[in-house]
Amino acid sequence: MNKVIQATIYVGLNDSVTHVQKFSTEKYISLLKNICKSYGLAFTMNRISGGYFHDDGTYVEENSLALILLDVEESIVEDVAKDLCAFFNQESVMVTYSQAEVHFVKERIEK
């Protein structure tokens, strides 16, 4: 097994000013895919939902995307996070790092 660093970028879909989602989730997914393609990154993406409190105490639930990147330099992860934050008009995005053990299983059925 190979040990690699897994970076996960969590980006909400509610606009930071209006606090509502302006575009379809599919449009945001398309933008996320284009950003990853422009960086030449392989990725996994999950649709998720959650809730949080604004500084003023207002509770908000929203759709979010979790972008999972394996074995990508931290500086590139941070650049992607900044792009997502700007393009999705977010106050901030959350980035987590963890160590992962990765291996690939291959099997073929012979005919």
Contact 66, 9 (CB under 8 A): yes
pTM exceeds 0.85, yes or no: yes
CA distance 107 to 33: 29
- What is residue 9's DSSP assignment? E
- What is the third-level CATH fold of 2-102? Alpha-Beta Plaits (3.30.70)
Q: List the chain pLDDT tens, one digit each, 111 residues.
A: 899 999 999 999 999 888 899 999 999 999 999 999 999 999 999 999 998 887 788 888 999 999 999 999 999 999 999 999 999 999 999 999 999 999 999 999 988
Domain ranges of the chain: 2-102
